[in-house]
Structures are given as structure tokens and as C-alpha cells.
Structure 1
Amino acid sequence: MSTVAIITARGGSKRIPRKNIRPFLGKPIIAYVIDAALQSNLFDEVMVSTDDEEIAAIAQQYGAVVPFLRQSKTSGDHASTIDVLLEVLDEYELIGRTYESLCCLYPTAPFITSQLLKTSYELLLEKQVDIVYPLQQFSFPIQRAFKLNSGIITWADPNSFLLRSQDLEPMYHDTGQFYWFNVNPLRQHQRLANLTAGGIVIDEMHAHDIDTEDDWQIAEFKYRLLHNMHSYD
């Protein structure tokens, strides 16, 4: 089966400027993702979709390809990941290359490993789903959530407060690291809502969403612990 890794790395990050190539424990954070994709040996091509020449140069330095730059319509704040993936597939078709499956990887996900990519790809094939998500379990039962309105709280689900926490069904959220897709359903539906989905569960030490400076520091701390690295700061 022909596969492509698409690492989505536009240049206009706002909350952490230039975060897609910011040094993470000594090397650009995108390099960790490129390394994992290359080491998995799953892909016919590991490419970076970017509108930024500096990001493109760093991606190529670490072994990815950048066969074309992202168009302006998919470089703004309101372009979706699906828009970017479809653009990449269209650009490849123009040069006569098609893929049966793709993995969309986010460039600020240094906890991705080649083994995780392999395991999730096997799930895509085994379950014959359209998409596979990496998931984490919520650490607190979300059925016991409160709503807050002008200082007054109400229960989101009053019945759940009558149950023991161990009797509540575990709930999960997307880790925001990567997604495996079967290309044909993605092209057909062009949205996530109508895709059959599978999930692989990741523990809290092996994923961390990075949106703020605090997130960045916590992610580096966790990475050091996982890899037995010392800090000399």
C-alpha cells in the first residue's frame, strides 16, 4: 500500500512564535517528528507542507522533502487540516503520484515514535476504518463536569453524581499528535465527521499538547524523564 507522511508546519504560529522550528532540548522540534516518520519505514515519502522557506530548509536538513510550498489559501488561521491534506494530495496528483493512505503528523509532537506509528497503522489496516486517532483518557470523569454561569454552578449530568467514579464509562480525547487516513474516504467526505474511526490509547507521559510556554516547559520535562536526560540549565 502506498503511503505518505504529511507534516503540517505553517510559519504563522501565534501563541508561540516560530514554534514549529523552535529548539526543543537542543534541536528543532519538527526534527523529532521527521525522525520518527523516517525510522518507521512506513512511508514512500515523508513531506512537510509549509508556506515558510526557513521551515522548508530545516525540514530538508533533517531528511524530509518539500516538493512544493503551501498555497496562501491554506496558510491562514482559518484553513483546516483537511484543507491542507487535500491540497497536498491534489499537488501530488498533478505530478502523477497517488497514495492509498496517509499519516498527518503535527510538527510539535516530539513524543511520536516510529513504533507508535507502526502500531496505529496496523490498527488502520486491521479494523478497516477510515481514520485512526491517538487518544488519552480524561484523568477526571467528564460526566461530573459543572457548568458555570455568573458564579452559579449546575451539573452537566446530574445522574452521574449518583454513581461511583469507577462505575462511569472512561472517556477519551484526541492527543493532537497525528492521524492515519485511508485516502479514498477522506477525499469522498472531506471532513472528519463522516469517517469511521479507530483509536489507540496513549498514556499521559507519552503525549503533551504544546500551546503555551508552560506547555513547552512541561513537555521538555516529561521528555527528559522518559529518555533519562539531565538538565544543566
Structure 2
Amino acid sequence: MEKAIAIITARGGSKRIPGKNIKNFCGKPIIAYSIEAALKSGLFSEVMVSTDSQKIAQIAQEYGASVPFMRSAKTADDYATTSDVIMEVMDNYKKLGRTFEYICCIYPTAPFVTAQKLIAAQTIMEEKHPVMVMPMTAFSYPPQRCYVMNDDGFMGYKYPQYSRTRSQDLEKQYHDAGQFYVYNAEKYLALHGQVNEGVMPIIVSELEVQDIDNEDDWKIAELKYQLMASR
């Protein structure tokens, strides 16, 4: 059994940002940042890209990733989940006679991933033995104070019991940074990718977190990346 594999999930279809996974981001294809961080970490015996696109596969290989097989049509449609992709990849490697102790799934549009973050997550995995380690960041505004729209179009507190509570007295809450996930492979596969417990975080700054779903998000991510790189 090999120690760890990095799986970068990069299908070809992207409707909101065409060619999103290989679009130029601060000077190079955005997927290159995920590949380079994984390679630089030195954690993985295999850094691979799961894709259905020959163009993505070519660029991935140019930056040092392997593409030993192409993603199936079933896991390349709009309804396939990340866990569907990982399960397929691991099954294909098993057929090749290769198994791994740890799985690291890295998104292809995650330029804030660094080798240091991957190493920190892997260290937690080996020392604390959770099912999963993932980057998280605190909500910048307390979710307990959120508004929702009523049927008549008026706004109201979703949680009125917190309407007069000071922000500093509210429990801090966190969300997925949407960058990468490190799994204990045996536990992950036994759960068929449905991990709801046994999760440990590495906490990252909000300046290093950005969902990229549209062109405005892309511009904000580039500004944040340039700020991070200058520090």
C-alpha cells in the first residue's frame, strides 16, 4: 500500500465561466496552482487529475500531474458529486493494483492551496486520526443574525432570539473553504464517501478563501491571491 494520492477533480464542462479549470489566473492556468502545491508538498506518490477533457489532461501533464485514465461520462455530468469521482478514481487504481492509505482531493480552482496547508492537514490526519481534515474559515458575519424573506416580501430575522445578542457573545461558526480534503482512505471508502462525522479543521484566513462561481468572483480571487503572495 502506498501512503497518499492527490486527486484533482477537473471536468471539462463549465457553463458560468467557460474553460474555468484552465483559465489564466495571475499568469498561468488556475489548475496549475493545485498541481504545483501537491507536488511541492512531497506528500504524494501520485498526483493525478481526473478529467473528461483532453485539453485539461494535456495542461495537467505539462505541469507535472499524471492522467492515467479519463473520467467516465457518468461522473462528468452536472449531477455527479465529488465523492462519485473519488470513488471511481480509487476503484480504477485498485484495478491497477495500487491502493493508498490517504486520499487528498484538491479542487482545480483553488489557487490559495499551498504545500504548507497540505502538510498541516496531513500532520493532523496522522497525529489525530480523524476521518477527514479540511480547511475552514469563520463566517465574517454571524449566521445567527441573518434575515430571511417572508412570503409577503418583507424581511425578518431567521433566529429572532438572537436579534439583541451582541455579536461577540454568539458562538463562532465556520464554513468549508472549498479548497481540499484529506481522507483516511479505508474509512472514506467504507463510508462510500459520505463523511458526516470525524472531521477536523485547519483554520484559514478569510483573505485566503474565495468561491469562484462567476467573473466577479474571479477578479476578487485574483486580488486576494496577489495580496497573499505579497505577504
Aligned equivalents of 1:167, 1:130: Cα separation in 2:
31
Structure 1: runs of 5 or more not aligned: none
Alignment partner, residue 167 of structure 2:
165
Q: Residues 134-213 of structure 1: matches in 2 within 5 Å? A: 134-149=135-150, 150-213=152-215
**1:159-202 CA distances to partner (integer Å, 9 max, x unpaired)?**
21232110101000101100011111111111434441111111
Alignment partner, residue 33 of structure 2:
32
Alignment partner, residue 124 of structure 2:
123
Alignment partner, residue 92 of structure 1:
93
Alignment partner, residue 12 of structure 1:
13
Aligned equivalents of 1:74, 1:165: Cα separation in 2:
43
Alignment partner, residue 225 of structure 2:
223
Q: CA deviation at 1:225?
A: 1.9
Aligned equivalents of 1:201, 1:91: Cα separation in 2:
33
Q: Would you say 1:21 and 2:35 are equivalent positions?
A: no
Aligned equivalents of 1:72, 1:124: Cα separation in 2:
32
Aligned equivalents of 1:37, 1:227: Cα separation in 2:
18
Aligned equivalents of 1:194, 1:43: Cα separation in 2:
25
Aligned equivalents of 2:4, 2:143: Cα separation in 1:
36
Q: CA deviation at 1:126?
A: 1.9
Aligned equivalents of 1:171, 1:15: Cα separation in 2:
29
Task: Give the superposed CA RMSD.
Answer: 1.3
Q: For the Cα contact (< 8 Å) 1:105–1:177, is it kept in 2?
A: yes
Q: For the Cα contact (< 8 Å) 1:185–1:195, is it kept in 2?
A: no
The TM-score, its normalising length taken from structure 1, stands at: 0.95
Deviates more, 1:22-31 or 1:121-130: 121-130
Aligned equivalents of 2:208, 2:12: Cα separation in 1:
26
Kindly provide the amino acid, as one letter, of the partner of residue 202 in structure 2: I
Q: Would you say 1:63 and 2:93 are equivalent positions?
A: no
Aligned equivalents of 1:17, 1:140: Cα separation in 2:
31
The TM-score, its normalising length taken from structure 2, stands at: 0.96
**1:11-59 CA distances to partner (integer Å, 9 max, x unpaired)?**
0011101110011111100001100000000001000000000000000
Match of 2:57, SS state, is helix
Alignment partner, residue 51 of structure 2:
50
Kindly provide the amino acid, as one letter, of the partner of residue 68 in structure 1: F
Match of 2:17, SS state, is coil
Q: Percent identity?
A: 52
Q: For the Cα contact (< 8 Å) 2:87–2:193, is it kept in 1?
A: no
**1:129-165 CA distances to partner (integer Å, 9 max, x unpaired)?**
1011210100011001112123222322122123211
Structure 2: runs of 5 or more not aligned: none
Kindly provide the amino acid, as one letter, of the partner of residue 227 in structure 1: A
